[in-house]
Amino acid sequence: MMKSPLLSTTHSQYQWDVKGMDCASCAGKIEHALGRLEGVSDIQVSVMSGKLSLTLDATYSSTQHIEDSLSSLGFQASLYEQGQKDMPQNIQSSWLSHPKAKQVLLTGTLLLLAWLASFILSESTAQWGFISACLVALAPIGKKALSLLRAGMPFTIEMLMTIAALGALFIGAEQEAALVVFLFTLGEWLEGIAANRARASIQALSNLVPKTALKLNDQATPIPINADKLCISDLILVRPGDRLPADGNIAEGGTSIDESPITGESVPVYKSTGEAVFAGTIVLDSAIKVTVTRAPEDNTIARIIKRVEEAQAAKAPTERFIQRFSRWYMPAIVLTALLVGIIPPLFFAQEWSLWIYRALALLLIGCPCALVISVPASIASALSAGARHGLLIKGGATLENMANTTLVAFDKTGTLTEGQPHVIDCLAINTSKASLIAIATGLEYGSSHPLAMALQRYATQESITPQPVNAVSVVPGLGINGDVSGETFYLGSPKFAAEKVTIAADLLTQIETWEAQGKTVIILFSNIEILGLISLQDSPRADAASAIKQLKSLGIQPLMLTGDNTRTAKAIASELGLDFQASLLPEDKVSIVKNLSSTQNVMMVGDGINDAPALAAAQTGVAMGSGTDVALETADAALLKNRVTDIPEQIRLSKATMRNIRQNISLALGLKAVFLVTSILGITGLWLAILADTGATVLVTLNALRLLRYKPDDS
């Protein structure tokens, strides 16, 4: 363990890498124990990443007390110091390197020797062998039980195991006592191996980013440096076959890029100068020069890992219910076992040793380990599987909401459509076409709105220079205005134009004709006249119709919400086969989503800044991967592949997760119900009780791990 640094005189946040934390129960024990300490707050424990973070106030001169507390609970902690780029690797390389491995092998060897002694030597010698095996294995368990007791947690599996094993020794069941402790230790070891396997699936993401990069100096000479030393605006060289060490924009060159490590999409994408590229993807054809746009700790891979870890730390409603249930379940089991051990001998003259034995078996089978891990294990596996397929989901609550979705509301531009509209028609009135495009492009100059980008591309294509415009201001949902040589011009929807000027009948007919063809019409006008009409068209995404069909097959209603006019919206909606509501301002979308959410479980899908309020208003907000940072941060989930078909895929993954959770809960409770009865009746004994409990824990964990192999396109 590294030396603890001195803390600042104010509240400070610190992180540790914690080894030996294999399940949600471990995380709960850490949270409870540290939560009782004065001056400790904001405790967050991630089982998947093996990280602990918390805030210490000025009463702490060092972190040593925290590390001592963790050590007393049986966990090894390494402090993540400020300035350190990466957390220590918290994944054991082999099953033998797990901390429980030595304990299992030692106890197993002593148990085997004791059994051999029972055949070769005397029974008394074998008896001492079983006692030795039991005590050796029980020592760390008992120590942890006492630490948890001092931390205010008397009803733990470690305490139940200690009582049961010592009780068995007391009544002369040495062989069973040793076997029980061995099986318990074996179960914890298997559970740790399973946790490492799930943890490795996320750690593998960080390994996609190369450790070195070729930075270009002023003489354009490539110099190898550590990738974590790259800064924004650095120029790097990436050769064919290399992985990109950072997010950036291509400064020079063009190449096909394999983005499957990020998006799961196997088809390479060709990218050239000015286009964005992402850390972890692979350059295939030609060398490119890339300008770094994100710091190493903020690249695409780092953000994915951060989102998954945050999601796994967030508890689902079912998980919270199970944890509340276990708080009164454990004391109830202890009380029941106490009554079983006392009442028959005390009031019905039954044999004390027999009923104490049955009470001890009841204590073991009553342990809620399998039940407690049934939900978080499934959720952690599902989140990891989703991340590998480009489906980022921010927590168990989101998974549960997704599984219950009854209606999916889509934004149109950039979500159901490509978001790359093109100028189709230009009708100049009282001016030239060049002047019409020059003023329109000048008003939209510098904007990243899809329609503005389309105008800018068209002006470049036609070699038209944008007209300089002053005092530009936006009218949300309607259009834009600005001054050209002292005169105010407006660019916006026909609705916006109708508020300012009179639109002639022949122009209204032309607008209706274009809109019926699925085109979006914008009008350039002044305070006194219309200067021209421009039509633009955006094509539906290639997979949009398939996504709508899949949603309907799942019994989910699709709905398009758009600010576009009714005729254009109808043309797109008819082509895709879904209902729509058109001519909506951003606040209208929010109102509609809120109203729908009062009677249905609504998922909202969007990509722009104007979609963020509606994403937040829905039970589940999903952002397209090409969307703005605002949309991505507001949303509960994101689609890195940028495919509409990922929406039904996410829903299928969430439904599979909930099925897995129900299976786990049924398995855990079913086995307990059977063995609780058989333990009281004396049909099953101590070793079968712990075997059933350990077996249930392992089965639940293995069942949850099946989700790691889940392919979201499986129906």
Where are the strands (E) in 188-332, listed by range? 212-216, 222-226, 235-238, 248-252, 255-258, 269-271, 276-277, 282-283, 288-292
CA angle centred on 360, ends 359 and 365, rounded to 5°:
95
Whole-angstrom Cα distance, residue 157 to residue 501?
Answer: 78
If DSSP codes are grouped into helix, strand and coil, which group holds residue 487?
strand
Q: How many of the other CB atoms lie within 10 Å of CB of 227?
A: 21
Which is nearest to 510 in space by CA: 479, 489, 539, 532?
532
Whole-angstrom Cα distance, residue 98 to residue 374?
Answer: 22
Respond yes or no: is residue 411 known to be catalytic.
yes
2 neighbors 118 (Cβ within 8 angstroms): no
Which is nearest to 87 in space by CA: 61, 48, 57?
48
Instruction: Give me the residues paired with residue 427 across strands.
Output: 533
Give Cα separations from 544 to 8, 441, 537, 560, 632 (angstroms).
Answer: 54, 30, 16, 12, 20
Q: How many of the other CB atoms lie within 10 Å of CB of 146?
A: 14
- DSSP 8-state assignment for residue 416: I
Q: Tokens for 151?
A: 């931390």
Among 411, 538, 611, 646, the one annotated catalytic: 411
Q: How many of the other CB atoms lie within 10 Å of CB of 444?
A: 25
**What are the backbone angles phi and psi of residue 491, rounded to the nearest 5°?**
-135, 120
546 neighbors 649 (Cβ within 8 angstroms): no
Helix H or strand E encompassing 513: helix 505-516
658 neighbors 400 (Cβ within 8 angstroms): yes
Which is nearest to 533 in space by CA: 575, 593, 492, 583?
492
User: Which amino acid, 233?
Assistant: S
**What are the backbone angles phi and psi of residue 18, rounded to the nearest 5°?**
-115, 120
> Where do the H-state alpha helices sit in 243-316?
260-263, 300-313
DSSP states of 61-80: SBSHHHHHHHHHTT-EEEEE
623 neighbors 649 (Cβ within 8 angstroms): no
Give Cα separations from 700 to 189, 233, 271, 400, 693 (angstroms).
Answer: 15, 49, 45, 19, 11
> Where do the H-state alpha helices sit in 618-685?
629-634, 646-681
Which is nearest to 467 in space by CA: 439, 493, 495?
439
Active site residues: 411
